[in-house]
Amino acid sequence: MKPYDPSIENYPLDGHTTFQMNSVVRHRLRNLCAGMKMAVERIADQVGSTYPQVTDMTPLMIAELNSLQVFTDRADLLFDRLPPAACRCIGEVVSTVRSEFREQFPDTVLHLNFLDTDTNHMLEHGNWLLIILRELLHNAGEAAGDAGEVELIWAQAAGAKIVVTNSGLEIPAEIPLAPPLPFFTCRSRHDGIGLAIIARLCKALVADLAIQSGSSGVSVTIESVSGEW
């Protein structure tokens, strides 16, 4: 009888194989979301009058499929090529994320503080900073919760720096933060890729990322090494 070889328990992945696997999985997830949304909507149209419970469940199923689509798109930012850099002014970036924050967290207070910052200043990698702030504020809003507070500080003249703080709970010690690693999270229904996406974009921007967590909340600081975004 041939001796048992424990190495056969796991397929030996290398970087190239992993990249291909991630690409295929994300492609399949997109197809699944699109196909299932069409099927769910068609079934609801055809049988909804006879089976009202199907119509009642349709919004929930569509919402879950939309969430899976959003997760897949965010996974691209972690595993695929970054989108080409695009110019945005600071005011446009902040206005966009503020509107999204208010829609997602209507009961959470968001403070904006611009320190010596010209909101008309154009950012060469403005779309990357928009993604960073979107992830930061979403994490901060979830952590702060209803009736909590989140603050965004943007300093430009004395060295490009962004600070986002929230009044939520301290991040558990078992969550890796230096550097952040994907799929580690302490919250239910949370995918744990936001900080990893931010860390990747900070590396591309040549910016330092610092995360401080304590009993009074969490503060994330992003500071450009060159002093300019």
Write the pLDDT tens digit of every residue in 21-69.
888 999 999 999 999 999 999 998 998 788 888 888 999 999 999 999 9
Q: End of a domain among 79, 99, 116?
A: 79
The answer to whether residue 4 sits within a structural domain is: no
Model confidence at 113: pLDDT above 80: yes
Shared-domain flag, residues 69 and 174: no
The answer to whether residue 137 sits within a structural domain is: yes
Secondary structure of 65-122 in HEC code, one letter for each residue: HHHHHHHHHHHHHHHCCCCCCCCEEHHHHHHHHHHHHHHHCCCCEEEEEEECCCCCCE
pTM: 0.84
Shared-domain flag, residues 31 and 126: no
Model confidence at 209: pLDDT above 80: yes
What is the length of the chain? 229
Output the domain CATH number for residue 123.
Answer: 3.30.565.10
Shared-domain flag, residues 139 and 162: yes
Shared-domain flag, residues 65 and 115: no
Question: Bigger pLDDT: 158 or 90?
Answer: 90
The answer to whether residue 123 sits within a structural domain is: yes
The answer to whether residue 146 sits within a structural domain is: yes
List pLDDT tens digits, range 154-201: 998 778 999 999 998 888 888 888 899 888 887 777 788 999 999 999
Which domain, by its residues, includes 137?
88-224
Shared-domain flag, residues 30 and 122: no
- Rg of the chain's alpha carbons, rounded to an integer? 21
Confidence of residue 1 (pLDDT cuts 50, 70, 90): low
Shared-domain flag, residues 70 and 112: no
Shared-domain flag, residues 130 and 179: yes
Give the chain's domain count.
2
Residues of the chain above pLDDT 70, percent:
96
**Measuring CA to CA, how many Å separate 191 from each of 115, 128, 186, 220, 227?**
33, 20, 10, 19, 32
Lowest mean pLDDT among 43-52, 84-93, 108-117, 190-199: 43-52
**Residue 35 pLDDT:** 95
